[in-house]
Amino acid sequence: MGPVPRTLELFYDVLSPYSWLGFEILCRYQNIWNINLQLRPSFIGGIMKDSGNKAPALIPRKAQYMANDIKVLRQHVQVPIQFPKDFFSVILEKGSLSAMRFLTAVNLEHPEMLENVSRELWMRIWSRAAEKAGMSAEQAQGLLEKSSTSKVKNQLKETTDAACRYGAFGLPITVAHVDGQTHMVFGSDRMELLAYLLGPTLATSTPKNSVQSLSFFSSRREVDGPCPPSRECQTLRLPGGSKLLVFSVALGAVSLPPTPKDSRKRSTISHVATCTSMTHKCLSESPSSALPQNKSNAIRQNLSRSLSVLVLLVCSFLVSYPAHCRGS
């Protein structure tokens, strides 16, 4: 029996682009690290008010920085995120209260759908691509109605208050519960630090499939950057060299609830089409190989694949230190 998974709470708001990036990175790592990822839809407006902070977009230079930053991070983190043309007028004025109440209702009624539906909302706001979350029109309508009940309003308020008690002055925040201690990290660019805090028992090593990989971090936690090699996250090369996250057929098949035939068929077909056409390519390539290369990631990924084939031979040569297991 392995070590108890560590709980990670991710507090996020779909208004926050960095929340999307942090969300995607942690979703990728939830099947690699020994963690229990809990998604906590929160209201960033409430956090700003409570902390006395103000939205970065209101400072012109921060807004400009964010616009450039998002462009770079799109490639580096491989999330199809783009600043919408009407960001300031629509998003800052409209706000995210109803969206986050909707997600709160989803979390109360259909928690297994929260990840997909959150992603769909981000896609609609922050991407030219749209994606079906697999929710029927009736389901969506029902949840929309529930969103304005006191129960849902209070739940969102409680979650937002919880984030404030953890010390949030913005989003995303990730709260790691480790050995009786609580660590709060702010931002999507602190995942390496998070890995460090989660420490040596992060590995999900199982005796049979245990594969150790060489790390360039010596005694430190190994992090494969924002795009760890994993079958649950495969990438599709689009014209123009940009990449779109594609979710595996298995994921789509298991988590899609009963939906009207054609919409499910549409989304499943798109999954199957993209996955089967790219499966061979994706499985044999590192996810980030089509982009301006971060050589260390490619080297590490290629190395780990070679090791998995030659596991018996290289076992004795591996540096033994806490590592996570990559089943392959």
Partner 1 sequence: MGPVPRTLELFYDVLSPYSWLGFEILCRYQNIWNINLQLRPSFIGGIMKDSGNKAPALIPRKAQYMANDIKVLRQHVQVPIQFPKDFFSVILEKGSLSAMRFLTAVNLEHPEMLENVSRELWMRIWSRAAEKAGMSAEQAQGLLEKSSTSKVKNQLKETTDAACRYGAFGLPITVAHVDGQTHMVFGSDRMELLAYLLGEKWMGPVPPAVNARL
Residues engaged in binding partner 1 (CB under 8 A): 51-53, 59-62, 64-65, 68, 72-73, 76, 167-169, 183-184, 186-187, 189-190, 192-193, 196-197, 216-218, 220, 225, 292-296, 299
Least separation in angstroms between CB 68 and partner 1: 8
Residues with Cβ within 8 Å of residue 226, at least 6 apart in sequence? 21, 24, 25, 28, 76, 77, 78, 191
Residue appearing with tokens 């949840």: 143
Contact 281, 240 (CB under 8 A): no
User: Which two three-digit tokens encode residue 269?
Assistant: 């077909």
Least separation in angstroms between CB 76 and partner 1: 5
Q: Which is nearer to partner 1, 88 or 217 (CB)?
A: 217
Least separation in angstroms between CB 203 and partner 1: 17
User: What DSSP designation does 218 have?
Assistant: T
Residues with Cβ within 8 Å of residue 238, at least 6 apart in sequence? 244
Contact 115, 27 (CB under 8 A): yes
Least separation in angstroms between CB 60 and partner 1: 7
Q: Which is nearer to partner 1, 51 or 255 (CB)?
A: 51
CA 163 to chain centre: 18
Least separation in angstroms between CB 194 and partner 1: 10
Least separation in angstroms between CB 164 and partner 1: 8
Q: Which is nearer to partner 1, 121 or 223 (CB)?
A: 223
Length of the chain: 328
Q: Which is nearer to partner 1, 120 or 224 (CB)?
A: 224
Q: Which is nearer to partner 1, 63 or 97 (CB)?
A: 63
Q: Which is nearer to partner 1, 22 or 134 (CB)?
A: 22
Cis bond before residue 172 (omega within 30° of 0): yes
Contact 31, 47 (CB under 8 A): no
**What SS3 state is found at 174?**
strand
75 burial class (0-12, 13-18, 19+ CB within 10 angstroms)?
middle
Least separation in angstroms between CB 78 and partner 1: 12
Comparing C-alpha atoms, which of 128, 125, 107 is closest to residue 116?
107
Comparing C-alpha atoms, which of 141, 136, 291 is closest to residue 227?
291
Least separation in angstroms between CB 322 and partner 1: 14
Q: Which is nearer to partner 1, 21 or 256 (CB)?
A: 21
Q: Which is nearer to partner 1, 111 or 199 (CB)?
A: 199
* Radius of gyration for the chain, computed over Cα atoms and rounded to the nearest angstrom: 20
